[in-house]
């Protein structure tokens, strides 16, 4: 499948959800250490690189990224 274009940190929705490419750089008080896109239920990519997120259709998010809508994936 063709790679989706990378979500821009300046995208209005990305800003609204406080998205960061590197979860360890998040200053959002809701960010918990260890949480990133790979353990979020809205992510459907692999463990590294970039992948799709249901909240950002048509864009790819960083596997190590994070946003305030993070919900821990159910096992």
Using CB under 6 A as the binding rule, the residues of this chain from 1 to 40 that contact ligand SF4 are 19, 37, 40
**Contact between 41 and 74 (Cβ < 8 Å):** yes
Q: Enumerate residues 6+ apart whose C-beta is below 8 A from 37.
A: 23, 43, 45, 51, 53, 61, 62, 63, 64, 65, 66, 70
**63 forms part of the interface with ligand SF4 (CB under 6 A):** no
Site residue total, ligand SF4 (CB under 6 A): 13
60: contact with ligand SF4 by CB under 6 A = no
Binding stretches for ligand SF4 (CB under 6 A): 19, 37, 40, 42-43, 53, 55, 61, 65-67, 69-70
């Amino acid at each position: 499948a063709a790679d989706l274009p990378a979500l821009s940190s300046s995208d209005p929705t990305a800003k609204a959800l406080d998205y960061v490419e590197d979860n360890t750089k998040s200053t959002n008080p809701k960010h918990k250490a260890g949480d990133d896109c790979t353990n979020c239920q809205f992510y459907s990519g692999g463990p590294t690189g970039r992948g799709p997120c249901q909240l950002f259709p048509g864009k790819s998010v960083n596997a190590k990224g994070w946003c305030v809508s993070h919900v821990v994936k159910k096992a």
